[in-house]
Structure 1
Amino acid sequence: MSAFMPVALLLISNVFMTFAWYGHLKFTDKPLWLVILLSWSIAFVEYCFAVPANRIGHESFSAAELKTMQEVITLSVFAGFSVFYLDEKLTINHAVGFGLICAGAFFVFKGPLR
């Protein structure tokens, strides 16, 4: 398998999970039990992409690299989601925080420092 496949699957899974966790924020008039049920349904689909992404990805990446990749993808998807779906603004504070997390990802993938 290509090393690109886990990245693509994690990207898809994160779109689903972002909607499962935050999509209901536009529908605060709906009962919480209904929102939870719908979120769990969406999360099931997310797992159908995330589990194969990690299984396939572990052939090319360490578990720490997969988790780091997941977090960077999550932040990227969430940033777009919050701007385009929730109509929220990203501030310089968000950019700095996300940038620091990406800097951390660099060190995970760079390997041991000597």
Structure 2
Amino acid sequence: MNGLYTIMLLILSNVFMTLAWYGHLKLQETGVASKWPLIGVIAFSWGIAFFEYCCQVPANRLGFEGNGGPFNLVQLKVIQECVSLGVFAVIANIMFQGQNLHWNHILAFFFIICAVYLVFMK
């Protein structure tokens, strides 16, 4: 069960992370944040990133085998990167409709999924 909670928290964490990293670009595009100083954009992103950490840290604690979870450190990192790219692809297609995925992006994601498979091999 800790594995499922870990992955759910990682997904939620990456939604916040993606919004923190790229949400201000959408706000700038719509004119909401076009006049914000850089320090304002940074503070805005930090505010969102706080919630990312509120999900990421518990995910790692629950999922880590040293705390009774099912994953070792390398597995946690590879899962996180895979989840990060998946969440990014979805949010980028929703928020930035002109940013389409091409065949090489799909192939790159496939190889990342292959990395997840390889990291779980005994």
TM-score (norm 2): 0.86
- Paired residue type of 1:69: I
Corresponding residue for residue 5 of structure 1: 5
**1:100 aligned onto 2:106:** no
Gaps in structure 2 of 5+ consecutive residues: 29-33
Alpha-carbon distance in 2 for matches of 1:60, 1:106: 15
Q: Size of the alignment, in residue pairs?
A: 111
1:59-74 to 2 correspondences below 5 Å: 59-74=69-84
1:27-76 per-position Cα deviation (integer Å, ceiling 9, x unaligned): 33132211110101111111010000000001211011110110010010
- Return the offset for 1:10: 0.5
- Paired residue type of 1:67: K
Say what the alpha-carbon RMSD is for the aligned residues: 1.1
Alpha-carbon distance in 2 for matches of 1:49, 1:74: 13
**Secondary structure of the residue that 1:48 maps to in structure 2?**
helix
Where in structure 1 do 4 or more consecutive aligned residues deviate above 2 Å? none
**Secondary structure of the residue that 1:94 maps to in structure 2?**
helix
1:85-96 to 2 correspondences below 5 Å: 85-87=95-97, 88-96=99-107
Corresponding residue for residue 83 of structure 1: 93
1:57-107 per-position Cα deviation (integer Å, ceiling 9, x unaligned): 012110111101100100100000111111111111110111111111110
Alpha-carbon distance in 2 for matches of 1:60, 1:11: 17
Alpha-carbon distance in 2 for matches of 1:34, 1:110: 45
TM-score (norm 1): 0.92
